[in-house]
Amino acid sequence: MAELNTVARPYTKAAFEYALAEGTLDAWSDMLKLSAAVAQDEHMARVLGNPAFTSEQKAQAMLSVCEDSLSAPGRNFIALLAENRRLALLPEILAQFEQLKANQQKSVDIDVTTAFELDEQQQQKLTQAIGAKLGREVKMTSQVDKSILGGVVIRSADLVIDGSVRARLAKLTEAMSS
């Protein structure tokens, strides 16, 4: 995983800096989402992984599926990735690009898991509290998991705040058995 991260980073940085300079972050985000989805398709993955195809043929295969949705710089980016045998990195490039974009726009996506459905007012209070704590605009998605018994689990990229009853009981059990 670290290797993919490292290899994808210069491509991500180049795409991000170009998109930022051109003011096209959202358009590049959309292009990368589409390209990453196409690269992950099982049929396309077989084409991209087939050593019998040249880099140009692989780029052409990607572009034939995505072409109408890609700008000229986007098509050039796909061709560059193909030339360097890096088309398989598109999902990682997308993930890194989205992180850079969120940092630039001072926003963060969080996933909230609760034991019971949160009403609109509770969601708004939680969003405001986390936004104030992180100093960012928060986009929240929520889900219900009755197995946590109560409390809340908040996830955002590498940040996890586990305030669930289940986690507290596990800590108590560990403390008592020590």
Reply yes or no on whether the pLDDT at 150 is more than 70: yes
The dihedral through the CA atoms of 49, 67, 22, 34 has a sign that is: negative
Name the nearest CA neighbour of 168 among 148, 143, 147, 142: 148
Domain boundaries along the sequence of the chain: 2-102, 107-177
Q: How many CB atoms lie within 10 A of CB 39?
A: 24
pLDDT tier for residue 79 given thresholds of 50, 70 and 90? very high
pLDDT tier for residue 168 given thresholds of 50, 70 and 90? confident
For residues 10 and 79, give the distance between their C-alpha atoms in angstroms, rounded to a whole number.
16
What's residue 105's pLDDT? Answer: 80
* CATH fold of the domain at 2-102: Peroxidase; domain 1 (1.10.520)
Reply yes or no on whether the pLDDT at 2 is more than 70: no
